[in-house]
A and B are shown apart, each in its own frame.
Chain A
């Protein structure tokens, strides 16, 4: 038979761009508004950014208390404070706090009006080091002090497999994007379609270009129709092995078969996404790749680190514009301290774990490091997203992006995990506020070990913030609450004086001031 080798286009769909050059467009462009479109997108998008350790003193992380003077009583004896979020500008540098400062061109008053800074969201038990607690897997901690270690899916994965979040997946090629250099942050079921199996960590993207190829759907070209995709036959091979058509089924145990079933569900999910239809005509490919860049916990190469995250920010923007994904999580494992040689290169011990030292030396390094992340990653993405999507509403307006840290104002400490957010989640949240949920009069979590411990005040359970995020994304509490619980995350309280049972019971209620 005369050999016929298919043209490359015929193979393109299955290859997701891995074997083809992609069309190059000039720039990311704004989509035009369509008559009759609602002001906001029907479904909001979610981005979480996290950085390691925390340990930034409240006075450096947040605006001054005087910036939140309006009050509202939350519970008897617990009054919260809030106020307009306003940056001061000096010499072209805009400033909300020592960490939250950047050139005015990046931290403009317009952008500030779309941000919130939230203080007083606490994981209500001593969690220590954790990887994923800030997204709801409180059980992924270091196990000290008999901490509970029951794993739960992180909220990104709850949403990624929720039909409320993704009622229609016909354009979705990546339910969630996992970016960064610190593994084990997002967690989901081994069979997410069935919400069953082990809770396992979600792998990180290894290449911005590869992730881009996954979320970018090139325009179809003219030509003969390619052969249909073969994923259904791959599934069939698993089914026949599972059922005994290909070998004796009795030689497989129940858990072997479960693993095959999990794999088949994954393949079915893949098949849906391979058939996704989306319009990426306004999107240009990213320039360059992250592979080969000097990043990770040991890196002091700031330019490579910044390039790494900016490339991924471009991928997130592309995915949102294409409509091929609506969830992204960035977990930076870098120190963001380019010059630590004077510390004898042990950032973990000499900066992160020295953050509470009253001499302030380590603290200053932390402040500088976190400010770099804020300016170069958070603001970079916020500004890239703040272009009109439709009807005068930007992609940022239709999103919720927030940045938090592993710990509050001292390392290991889960009190007042800082939440810096931008976007209103398609109008769900009010923005432009500094919101302080702390009970400034409570001494329930005051410690005398170091000066910063004396300044700790309890706020509201972080469980409630997680619930509010999911509600902003279209999920009802009934979808994410565990039996007998409210909010999201293990309802462990190690100090009832700080976090009352009433507070915990209210953890699926909307957060005051933040939600209109």
Chain B
């Protein structure tokens, strides 16, 4: 068998690589090797939107919210457990960039949502006590004279949460006269039918924005109504429907005032739900969910010799992902740090012994405590943490590491490899270093066009082994676990973050410093966060102001929390434009 280190080139070899940098899926982003990612703000309308649907996460949060506000928070898990089987029929959001970009509505969605609605209605009304809490005592007493107001009140109260707005009289009449009736008094089957229709209604499954006033007589541009604005804010920050306070701010008119709006945004940003949303964003941006299992090679002599005491378990993967998310959480929310700080911090967030061991046996950290620095001179920021580095093998895969930084952090485009890229690999001396191998295989000829974009970044990160441990030399293992050679590390390379930048980086720390300072990083964050929160690809021409606002704030080192808040303060956030 070919040596294990020979050819970790996957998805990355290419002939005819144009060096394309930037660009957006579906957008009009940069398409060349520009030196920055500046956006151009041309004040005008927001982008048109086409009836967005709730993401799966938003759908789940909305179901849970209904339970919490009707039966109570303590019943949420039990009710949702009764819905779990049906939820398996609702497809996961499938976009590989950010889940919410998947706006498909398939038959499987509609079918699955139906079965969920039916199970959900049954769970909400499973007992008389549930019905009493859901509808009120009037539903279970023996007085038939109160049935009509009882029903109306139920429809209006629950409907307000499910529709995320007060129901008009017409809509109340629809639920009462056409869905509930004919019924034998407060018949539970009829109550369930109302819940099923509500949970399948367009107001629950889509972001309906059809109540606002036209802007200056336009027929394609509208202000959001207070309730629509409340929903947009809550889904933006929490990925969840508006709570009582937000709905009341909409009802009272407070949300329509500048002060009231800003106050609500501050409250939303401070809420832990915003942190959870940002966890999801960073996990998607850094593709943490795509981290391969680390324990697959356990048992292989070469890998076992390489791993030593750090034998990976299935839990290690989750622990190092949590380690990276803790870095982001602490930086953004505890330290009021900037995006640059995410790439620079040397603080340790190892909460478990296995992670601490990867960091060389550092002391454990617990949430709420002040983190201690990692050993000096070893790491800086997220790029040098195990979740961004681990490969599950003794190899470091510099090409893949470089590709991920290029693609995810810098928003560069790397073409797919040609068909025959992997088919004629020469045998290499097994005692060569990984860098020497990569340079031999890809450093010249047609391969070099693209690999000069990837390999150097991977070489800069060469001081971290396949489990993300810091090292000062490179042991080369034979198939039987014996050490064939111990080689010096050479981590200096020119990462060329922009086409005309020939500044070398000595190691992962200097690379991180360059990435932290790069406008491309700021621009890439802005693009990704835009896609994540607005559930659509950005259009540089139309969305330039929002992107520029974020970009400028990031470039100035504004705290991340402030950057996120400012998006909701932009004028276009409160508008909706119809698609032609």
CB–CB B114/A231 < 8 A? yes
Q: Report the minimum CB–CB distance from B126 to chain A (whole Å).
A: 8
Most buried by B among A260, A291, A346: A346
Contacts of B82 in A (CB 8 A): 19
Contacting pair B10 A345 (CB below 8 A): no
Q: Do A237 and B296 form a contact, CB below 8 Å, given A1-B186, A246-B171, A255-B51?
A: no
**Is A15 touching B122 in the complex (CB atoms < 8 A)?**
yes
Say if the beta carbon of A349 comes within 8 Å of chain B. yes
Contacts of B106 in A (CB 8 A): 188, 190, 200, 202-203, 266
With A144-B419, A251-B222, A259-B51 given, is the CB distance from A349 to B118 under 8 Å? Answer: no
Q: Which residue of B lies closest to A206 (CB)?
A: B88
Within 8 A of B (CB), among A200-237: 200-207, 209-210, 213-214, 226-227, 230-231, 233-234, 236-237
- A497 at the B interface (CB under 8 A): no
Q: Tell me the nearest residue of chain A to B194, going by C-beta.
A: A230
Is A16 located at the chain interface by the 8 A CB criterion? yes
Confirm or deny: B211 has a beta carbon within 8 angstroms of a beta carbon on chain A: yes
> Quick check: B422 and A233 within 8 Å, CB to CB?
no
Residue A183 is within 8 A (CB to CB) of chain B in the complex: yes
List the B residue with the shortest CB-CB distance to A365: B1
Q: Find out whether the CB atom of B423 lies under 8 angstroms from the CB atom of A238.
A: no
Tell yes or no: B38 within 8 A of A by CB.
no
Contact residue among B8, B89, B211, B419 (Cβ-Cβ distance under 8 Å from A210): B89
Residue in chain A with minimal CB distance to B142? A2
With known contacts A227-B193, A231-B114, A357-B423, A253–B188 Cβ distance under 8 A:
no
From residue 286 to 309 of chain A, which have CB atoms closer than 8 A to chain B?
291, 298, 300
Residues of B within 8 A of A449 (CB): 420, 423-424
What is the minimal beta-carbon distance from A339 to any residue of chain B, in angstroms?
9
Which of these binds chain A: B177-185, B277-285, B377-385?
B177-185
A433 contacts the other chain (Cβ, under 8 Å)? no
Task: Tell me if A121 counts as interface (CB < 8 A to partner B).
Answer: no
Cβ-defined contact, A226 with B189, below 8 A:
yes
CA–CA, A284 and B395, complex, Å? 49
**Complex contacts, A226 vs chain B, CB 8 Å:** 189
B425 at the interface (CB under 8 A from A): yes
- Asked if A18 and B171 sit within 8 Å, CB to CB, the answer is no
Partner of A255, one of B50, B147, B394, B425: B50
Contact of A4 among B1, B119, B188, B296 (CB under 8 A): B188
Cβ of B202 and Cβ of A237 under 8 Å apart? yes
A361 engages B1 (CB within 8 Å): yes
* Residue among A2, A204, A348 with max Cβ neighbours from chain B (10 Å): A2
Interface: A10 (CB within 8 A): yes
Query: Does B88 contact A346, Cβ atoms closer than 8 Å?
Result: no
Which chain B residues (201-247) contact chain A, with CB distance < 8 Å?
A: 201-203, 206, 208-212, 219-220, 222
- Proximity string of chain B (417-440) to chain A, C-beta cutoff 8 Å, 1 when within and 0 when not: 011111111000000000000000
Q: Does A166 sit at the interface, judged by CB under 8 A?
A: no
Interface size on B, residues (CB 8 A): 102
> In whole Å, how far is B112's beta carbon from the nearest beta carbon of chain A?
9
| Given A144-B418, A203-B106, A206-B92, A14:B196 Cβ within 8 A | yes
- A253, B105: Cβ atoms closer than 8 Å: no
The answer to whether B179 touches A251 (Cβ under 8 A) is no
Question: Given A255-B579, A361-B1 in contact, is the A298-B92 Cβ separation under 8 Å?
Answer: no
Residues of the A chain whose Cβ atoms lie less than 8 Å from the Cβ of B147: 1
Task: Check if A15 sits within 8 Å of B393, measured CB to CB.
Answer: no
Check: B337 CB closer than 8 A to any chain A CB: no
Contact B300 A342 (CB under 8 A): yes
Q: How far is the CA of A207 from the CA of B115 in the complex (A)?
A: 14
Q: Given the complex of chains A and B, what is the CA–CA distance between A340 and B51 in angstroms?
A: 46
Evaluate contact between A251 and B105: CB separation under 8 angstroms. no
Residue of B at shortest CB range from A175? B107
Supposing A231-B114, A346-B8, A350-B7 touch, asked if A11 and B201 sit within 8 A by C-beta, the answer is: no
When distances are taken between beta carbons in the complex, the residues of chain A under 8 Å from B190 are 227
Give how many A residues have a beta carbon under 8 Å from the other chain's beta carbons: 96
A341 within 8 A of B: yes
Q: Are B210 and A11 in contact (CB under 8 A)?
A: no
A148 at the interface (CB under 8 A from B): no
Least CB distance from A243 to B in Å reads 12
A353: chain B residues within 8 A (beta carbon): 10, 421-423
Contact with B along A244-264 (1 / 0, CB 8 A): 011110111111100110110
Among residues of A, the one whose C-beta sits closest to the C-beta of B222 is A251
**B548 → A minimal CB distance (Å):** 27
**When the two chains form their complex, are residues A412 and B105 in contact, meaning their CB atoms are under 8 A apart?**
no
- Nearest neighbor of B5 in chain A, beta-carbon distance: A344
Given A18-B115, A201-B104, A206-B92, does the pair A346, B393 have CB atoms closer than 8 Å? Answer: yes
Query: Measured between alpha carbons, how far is A202 from B112 in the docked complex, in Å?
Result: 13
Question: Are the CB atoms of B128 and A5 closer together than 8 Å?
Answer: yes
Rounded to whole angstroms, the CA-CA distance of A49 and B120 in the bound complex is 35
Which residues of the partner chain A approach B108 to less than 8 Å between Cβ atoms?
178, 202-203
Cβ distance A26 to chain B, nearest Cβ, rounded Å: 24
What is the CA–CA distance of A214 and B219 in the complex, to the nearest angstrom? 44
Q: Is the CB of A15 within 8 A of B422?
A: no
Which one of B131, B187, B419 contacts A128 once the chains associate, using CB atoms below 8 Å?
B419
Chain B residues whose CB sits within 8 angstroms of the CB of A209 once the complex forms = 85, 88
Whether A1 contacts B122 in the complex (CB less than 8 A), given A237-B197, A346-B393, A413-B419, comes out as no
- Give Cα A340–Cα B299 distance, bound, in whole angstroms: 11
Tell which of A175, A267, A342 has the most Cβ of chain B within 10 Å.
A342
Which chain B residues border A361 with CB–CB below 8 Å?
Answer: 1-2
Is B292 among interface residues, defined by CB-CB distance under 8 A?
A: yes
- Of B179, B201, B296, the most chain A CB neighbours within 10 A belong to B296
4 extra interface residue pairs, beta carbon distance < 8 Å, beyond A16-B115, A214-B111, A252-B210 = A1-B143, A3-B188, A210-B86, A450-B424
Q: Top 6 nearest A-B pairs by Cβ distance?
A: A203-B91, A1-B185, A253-B578, A353-B422, A251-B210, A344-B4
Q: Would you list 21 pairs from A and B whose C-beta atoms are within 8 A, ordered by A residue?
A: A1-B139, A1-B186, A3-B139, A4-B188, A15-B118, A18-B86, A18-B115, A144-B419, A206-B91, A230-B197, A241-B210, A247-B168, A251-B209, A260-B202, A266-B110, A291-B88, A298-B293, A341-B297, A342-B479, A344-B4, A353-B10
